Structure 1
């Protein structure tokens, strides 16, 4: 078996120099590095990556915890994470909570056992104090979801202002009777999007009918079923703001099933701008989250924490955008 000493002998350098070339650390002259790389190639030397990782107490692996892997919103966030991870030599493991808080705690135990170098949580469901205590010892970053007032490194959008923007758009289309299908209200993004909806309605002195605010679970099915409840009312809404795109698509399906037309009879706006939003019929007007950028920034922060670098700040709020397509129109009813 070829050893690092054999490479050093052929290149006429020290083993430390060979190690620096392999690990890309320290300063090595270009000519020297080229001699080392040539020796590695000729001898077909395979560095003992496992031994090096054990010496450094690192795994070059990070864990990403997703609340629900079936939710297509997270796919582009994961792509952003992987784009940075691969460039920096990290592998990404995926953990699916399936919306069970207990699983999140189990994944954190993997971090405590040092089986991974750090964790990115795409959900904030477990006890905030316990997570903050864990973050004092281990690299942890939150993305997409967040805790209010927390000092945990977090990457997200401003869900209150984004929901307000979506509701404003419907109001400016002259809708006054607007329904809202919320996300789960035990999750901060569900509560914040409801707050944004309420703020917009209050700003225009429009009443919020309790019957027109129904709690969903971010699934297509809940959007479909809750829209049927709206349609069963004596006076259905002329527009609906759904707290994510899957529920918005479910709502549109329910509207069509009752013989109504979107947006002629009822306008629908979603949230997230998942891939299917642009190819759904009608194409969905929605709030675009910068999902790839969220994942990219979260991984960049995690690497900084892994290398014990001080962060310039801990809360990173990225810009969202209203994407206007075909599912909303001016209200024609009086």
Structure 2
């Protein structure tokens, strides 16, 4: 097994330089960092976390919290891709991840979990803003980055997709195909993405002079079953929209299943747009037109910001809003 001396020798630098790269010191050039990190990866070198924590007062571990309200764990395509981006970034810096999953409504103290596991920082995703335990974490001295939740504090910031603009892209696209009766299946309003996508949906309908019909807006759980049940309610209405924007791809897949079960067709009878661009959206039939959000970049960006926060405790960090884009497939048709 390679040692730090072996890494230094292969990289042509001192042991001190390798140590500074491992601990992310700012006085090492990017070129040297990349060279040392590449050799560490080639040699499968992992710094001794126990010895390093004794010398730096850091555990070199990060707490990653996610709310698993669908009991899907790491199989959930949204969490999976983000966590992969987080892990990929921290692995290169010699950090370990500790994953914490819980259900909405659980008695769960993020601050106490972080302190008991001695993590250097935390990343949280999937939490409703109404969670009473968030404020305690934000007001602690634990560096924290939220994903999909716009919370800031002395030691906290966030990374989020431009959900408002993404919803506007979906509505505008459907309008360009001739649809003027547009409904929406939305997630729970206590989540930030659901709120923002509703705002974007409403604003774009207004901008285009289209009708906002509350009966065509169905709130449901993010997931296939939520989309399935919501679409059943839309199908049974006397006056129905010709197109439906679903706030998540899994919702959209559930909606398509409901449409087929009721003897209708996508896109001939209903045009469907999703949101997320999860992997399966390109394999369902018909292929799902959706709003892409870069989940891998979200994870990488959250991890990079958290590393900077850990190493620069007195610096203020601005939120990051990532752009979205429309991915056109076969689930929508031109009408009129």
TM-score, normalised to structure 1, is: 0.81
Query: Is the contact made by 2:150 and 2:157 (CA closer than 8 Å) also made in structure 1?
Result: no
Select the structure of larger CA radius of gyration. Answer: 1
Q: What secondary structure sits across from 1:271 in the alignment? A: strand
Residue 154 of structure 1 and its aligned partner are, at CA, apart by: 1.0
Query: Is the contact made by 1:181 and 1:216 (CA closer than 8 Å) also made in structure 2?
Result: yes
Within the alignment, does 1:83 sit opposite 2:73 as a pair?
A: no
Within the alignment, does 1:74 sit opposite 2:79 as a pair?
A: yes
TM alignment of 1:1-334, pairs within 5 A: 24=21, 49-68=49-68, 69=73, 71-100=76-105, 102-103=107-108, 105=109, 107-113=110-116, 115-125=118-128, 126-127=131-132, 129-134=135-140, 137-147=141-151, 152-308=156-312, 311=315, 313-332=317-336
Distance 2:57 2:286 in 1: 53
Residue 66 of structure 1 and its aligned partner are, at CA, apart by: 1.4
Q: What secondary structure sits across from 1:252 in the alignment? A: helix
Residue 257 of structure 1 and its aligned partner are, at CA, apart by: 0.6
Distance 1:23 1:197 in 2: 49
TM-score, normalised to structure 2, is: 0.81
Residue 56 of structure 1 and its aligned partner are, at CA, apart by: 2.1
Query: Is the contact made by 2:169 and 2:325 (CA closer than 8 Å) also made in structure 1?
Result: no
Residue 21 of structure 1 and its aligned partner are, at CA, apart by: 5.0
- 1:20-59: CA deviations, max 9, x gaps? 655657899x9xxxxxxxxxxxxxxx98641331332211
Query: Is the contact made by 2:186 and 2:198 (CA closer than 8 Å) also made in structure 1?
Result: yes
Q: What secondary structure sits across from 2:107 in the alignment? A: helix
**How much is the aligned-residue C-alpha RMSD, in angstroms?**
2.8
| Paired residues, number | 299
Judged with a 3 Å threshold, the aligned counterparts in structure 2 of structure 1 residues 311 and 295 are, in CA distance, closer, same or farther, namely: farther
Deviates more, 1:156-165 or 1:50-59: 50-59
The aligned residue for residue 43 of structure 2 is: none
Stretches of structure 2 lacking an aligned partner (at least 5 in a row): 33-45
